[in-house]
Every structure is written in C-alpha cells, then in structure tokens.
Chain A
C-alpha cells in the first residue's frame, strides 16, 4: 500500500479539478467533436462490416479518450511536479520504493482515463450506438489505461520542460489517434502502413475493444499491450530509481 499516499494526493487534486466550472465539459470536448464530425457527419457515408459506423466509432473513441487522459494526466502532472513545483522531491525523499511511486501515478492515471471513458460510454449509450459493455470491453479499457499511464510516467520522468510532454504527445499519441483504427478499420490502409500501425499499442486496443469474444487475434493484442505496459513500467521505475537533480 506504499502507493496509496501518491494515489490519494492525485485523487484530491482530481476531485478539486472535477468541481471546477467547465472541467468535465473540457475533458469531453475532443471526443464529442470527433463523435459529431465523424459519427454523425462523415459517418453516414462510411460503411463498416458488421454494423453501423457509430457502433464502430464509439469503442475507438473510448480507447482514444482513455489513452489521452491516462497519458496526459500522468505525463503532464509528473513533469510539472518534477520541474516546476518540485513536489516530486518529497516523494523521492520518502522511504518508499520507486515501484510504489510508479504504481501510485499509474493508478491515478487509470482513474482519470476511466472517468473520461465513462463520459463517452454514457454518450454512446444515450445515442443508442449499439455497442455492448462486455467484460472484454471493460478489461481492454483497464489495460489501455494501465498501458498509457505507464507511458505517461516514463515521459513525465524524461521530459525536461512542460512543452516537451506536448511534443511527445504530438509525435506518438496524435498519430495513433488517426492511424490506429479509431476512425476506420486498419485493413483499409495500404499493406505497408498496416505493418507499421500494427506495431502501435493503440491499434491493439482498438482490435481488442471491438471484439465480443476472445480469439487468437485478441490474445495477441493482449500480449502486445501487456508487453508495452511492462516495457514502460520497467523504464519508468528505473528512471525514478536513478533520479538525480
């Protein structure tokens, strides 16, 4: 339970932000714009196999939103805490293991990612988009939040300025939003590009989150996501362990 104080601190801050005017609206803004522009606008002319485009798009938006929020909350918060507010010093000078610091931040990022996803899910349910909240859907969502919160810790630890976290987001997160199967199936892409996007973690989230039952492709997706999460966790924990100002 050494992670608990860090998680608690993040949750107190999250709770305060939650009650600020416009916070919920702001966090829902981007996925809602995508939903309106792609789902209700362009979506009418797009055909996807096995159902409506809105039913295809919503799980993708949930994956995207959970990724963005889990990553941004952790990467941005950790960077600010380390570089500007210096509150990270208090954690480093406390008798807790680097993995506990890592776990506290990751769990907080997951909560943030799940909260943002919940908003999209509620909109989706309200719009009767036809997607179901299966155990596999929830598992994928949790794993996705876990993966990108871990990535957030690593980026939050290596970035020297707050602007750098946005740079990483522009290079790694934003391309995944558009090419990893959020808005259209990846099999519509050229074969070469498909091979590239299959290396991206969000692609596997999008594959898994749209499945109703686990199959070989789904198991591969889980293994890839776990592999990425483990990779980010080990590197992030090592960065915390070797932290020196």
Chain B
C-alpha cells in the first residue's frame, strides 16, 4: 500500500529523513517510533504531499507522491500533530468544508455518522474554540476518517492527552482498521506503539534502525530486563533472553532492583544508546 525507496529530506545542512526504505501492507497498522526530531513527522508530511522530498521515491497505492499528488490525496486522511481545525468554524462546518474539498457524496449523512462516532454530534454547532484538547483531537480524527480513506496518517495522535482520552483514541484507530483501512501512525509513546502497531519502524536521526513486530523487536534484544545498582550506586540495565537468564543473572549479582519484561524503549536504547521518552 505504501512504498518508500531511499527517501531523503534535507533542510539546508540538516538531513531530517535519511535513506528510508520500507513497505506497509494493506490493512496494517504501522507505527513509526522515535524521539522528537527523529524524522517521523517529516516522513508523514512527504507521504501526504505536504513536503517535497530531496531524494528517493515514495508511492501510495502505486501513485507517486510527487508526480501524482492528486491521486494520492484522494486516498488519504491526515491527523496532524498540530491542530489545524478552523478555529472560527463550528465542528459541523469544519467537516462540511473538508467533505466538499474531497467531493464526498451524501456528505450530511457522513458528517452525522462521524460526529456521532466521536460523541460530538450534540456539539456540532459549537465553535471549536470551546472544545477541550481531547474533543478537538477526536474531531481531527473524525475529519480525517470522513471519506473512508484507504490510508489514514496519524502524527502523534495522542500527544498531551490524558490516559482515558488516549485509550478512546486507540479504540477509534482500531475501529478504522477494522473498516479496512491502512494506518500509519507516529508516536514517541512506547506503550502506544506496542498497543496499536502490527509492525513498528524505529527511527533515529532520520534513519530506520529497526523494523519488525513489537514481539520480534523485543526478542531481538532480550525479553527480560534486569535493572540493578553497581557498587557505586549507579543504576545499570541488563537485557536477558528469557526469564531463566534473568534469574540466573540475579542470583550471580546478588542484588535485585527490578526485573521486568522488555519494551520498545529497551529496543531503542539497545540500538542507539539513547532514550525515546526523555
């Protein structure tokens, strides 16, 4: 569904996206994980025709994002990191303008369905300046999903939201996939990438440093983590292939701080020596 080949983006001397190549299949939820500045948003902006790449190629459903942007735009819905709803318009008008821009048939009915699905139908006439952050985020997702896009891009969809709203949005994303869509989301929340993604691509400084299912990525670095203190009181981490390995290490070390299952943060630390959630 989505294919990137040696995709590169330079901003002056800074390389934001560095030789990215991977594919995303139909009906897949693909997570791009990495810290701020890793190139996640730039990658999404290239795929959604907002940024022109400096090199390489990207195609969506067989259409080149640079040479055939109109065909690409017909197939996508985008939830940006920054709220780009029209602040002076009501929730209904925001969706109406979007639907008209995308030539959607039966628009009124579709708007009602979407607003009901995000629990905003009763607030449809209200100016969105009166909405909370979570409500605006839900409206952004409803707008992106309005035409039933083949690919939905979500750039940090739950950033700054409380855990309850975050889980509501996760359920919305799962529903969208259940309706047959492909989802590409970026996040720097480990839990989010693990909970939602079929496969995860880990980005660091514009480069793809790992790509697999969350389970395989964790297996790659060791499924258990032992965190312990050395003689000088520094907290150290040891990745262990399995529970037995971890227990064996603990017996030898003689002191345990914590033993837990590994997560994608550990994968990132192992591969880059840095942390995602700083």
Contact = CB atoms under 8 A, between A and B. Distances in A.
Interface of B: 45, 48-52, 70-71, 73-74, 76, 78, 80, 82-89, 93, 97-98, 100-103
Given A12-B89, A95-B101, 20 more contacts: A4-B100, A5-B97, A5-B100, A8-B97, A9-B86, A12-B93, A13-B88, A13-B89, A16-B88, A86-B84, A87-B86, A89-B80, A89-B84, A90-B98, A91-B101, A93-B48, A94-B98, A94-B102, A95-B74, A97-B70
A245 B45 contact: yes
Contacts of B74: 95
Contact of A86 (B71, B73, B82, B100): B82
Interface string A81-108: 0000111011111111100000000000
A45 interface: no
A9 B52 contact: no
Contacts of A26: none
A9 B84 contact: no
Contacts of B70: 95, 97
Interface of A: 4-6, 8-9, 12-13, 16, 85-87, 89-97, 242-245
Nearest to B83: A86
A95 B88 contact: no
A243 B69 CA distance: 12
A27 B98 CA distance: 30
B182 to A, nearest CB: 17
A16 B45 CA distance: 32
B129 to A, nearest CB: 11
Contacts of A13: 86, 88-89
A159 B129 CA distance: 27
A94 B71 CA distance: 10
Contacts of B50: 89, 92-93, 243-245
A90 B84 CA distance: 8
Nearest to A90: B84
